[in-house]
A and B are shown apart, each in its own frame.
Chain A
């Protein structure tokens, strides 16, 4: 039994999500190989070789693999998958894009976004945005699985000494081309990877008032989020939306400010480690899941909060 992990990287650095998948693969009990597919990505292969628990690194280096195009990367996985019992990737936008394509090419089902491994063929995964956990058995000859990074401890980035083996690059299917990339502004952490998220709801009352949250987010080095009600009201952009139809987050600290706590919002943030709710309505449902609830007018509480935090 050997697992192949599709590494996520930017051709220079291995992304930390890969370490979590290596951590998960350790639970399977077999050997762990890592596929680094990219363009000019030999450094990444060297980094992957140092990850604790990795037995071998496969390096597929070609220009058409440089931009994470699903068609090209999936083809590379397809070329190698037959030798493996498991093929794993992080359940990130990259892994979710590539792995189902590779699985279908092998006529195999895929288990998405697992949060626990019961045995080499049995996995737990959230459904209904985390409102239920399904335990699923996969009897496919190759088990294709995407792994929710936050659910598994990362493997140590150092301590391994795997060999790096070059493998031939699979041909470019020639159906897609990379055009451009626009990275999110780096002045604030990304919503899904942030340690702290400050989220606002309809209680903010206007787009201008959302700027009050920006100060707090800056002070805490937090990402900004919003409830669907706030997005629908035009107070915040759609990509800030946390909830069942928006982004699912699980930060160390989630501050829900002026958010009543509709079901669909709770589904997107209830796995956060610590939840704080500030709302003037003492009966708001958000208080039922908040670790710390403060019944207060947010326009009074926010300035006080900034003052207490020393700003």
Chain B
């Protein structure tokens, strides 16, 4: 069984982004880019399944500019077997990415497709669910535990107020939450090995996908800033302020 994993190149989670002064977007020139953390968990899970003999091949796919090759190489260094870059310099929104992934899904016929639950740049949390809809398969989002057996995936999901476990027939789409696993550190020998693994480049047009943006971002603004607070000299003053000034405790 093949496992398909989608990975996105995003601004590193340690970078504080700034809104451009003309409100046209977020300034990401010259900032550190990394693999979306939830996608890293997705790659790790797929590689573990292959290492456990539950899968035969792990294919990683990324959609975006040429630089996504770096992200794909990182996934290959974690242990994925081959990579596909669906290259475009256009803005890609979740529905477009889901359509591209559906085209790859049809070509590769993976038993399981794993994505991060959301990308930490646009925070959409849509692509996995949309891919499952387009492919007409089951979905298990926000996974914190995944087990494969008898043509189905048993997935424990992190939901508001607890956990729920579902069984989805394969092929299926799973999206990862933080607790699913802790990705391994990538070692130098594996980085070297990853350079030799196959990486195919294709375009959305070649896949027959209309990837045009549907939503128009009119402007991007800084969120309302918090006004500077005060220092309190001791615990007694703090508690008095919380009770009488902020009125947030009894």
Which A residues lie at the B interface, using CB under 8 A?
A: 67-71, 74, 92-94, 96-105, 107-113, 122, 125-140, 173-184, 190, 192-193, 196, 220, 238-239, 241, 244-246, 252-253, 262-264, 270-271, 273-276, 287-296, 301, 304-305, 308-309
Contacts and interface: CB of A to CB of B under 8 A. Distances in A.
Contact of B16 (A97, A131, A290): A131
Contacts of A93: 141-142, 157-160
A238 B179 contact: yes
Is chain A's interface secondary structure helix, strand, loop, or mixed overall? Answer: mixed
Given A109-B93, A136-B215, A309 B130 contact: no
Place the interface of chain B in its size category: 35 or more
A14 B221 CA distance: 35
Given A100-B94, A126-B223, A132-B222, A181 B162 contact: yes
A239 B158 contact: yes
Interface stretch (B118-126, B186-194, B195-203): B118-126
B161 interface: yes
Contacts, number: 254
B239 A196 contact: no
Q: Top 8 nearest A-B pairs by Cβ distance?
A: A175-B138, A109-B214, A104-B130, A100-B129, A100-B126, A104-B133, A291-B229, A304-B235
A188 to B, nearest CB: 12
Given A94-B159, A133-B223, A273-B248, 13 more contacts: A70-B139, A93-B158, A93-B159, A100-B125, A104-B98, A107-B95, A109-B93, A127-B220, A135-B218, A179-B154, A196-B249, A287-B231, A294-B231
Contacts of B209: none
B235 A296 contact: yes
A109 B165 contact: no
A178 B140 CA distance: 11
B206 interface: no
Contacts of A173: 136, 138
Nearest to A107: B95
Contacts of B149: none
Interface in B223-245: 223, 226, 228-232, 234-236, 238-239, 241-242
Nearest to A111: B215
A305 B238 contact: yes
B231 A179 contact: no
Contacts of A296: 234-235
B165 A105 contact: no
Contact of B218 (A122, A180, A292, A305): A122
A96 B129 CA distance: 9
5 contacts: A176-B168, A287-B231, A288-B228, A292-B229, A293-B230
A244 B241 contact: no
A196 B158 contact: no
B125 to A, nearest CB: 5
B30 interface: no
Contacts of A192: 160
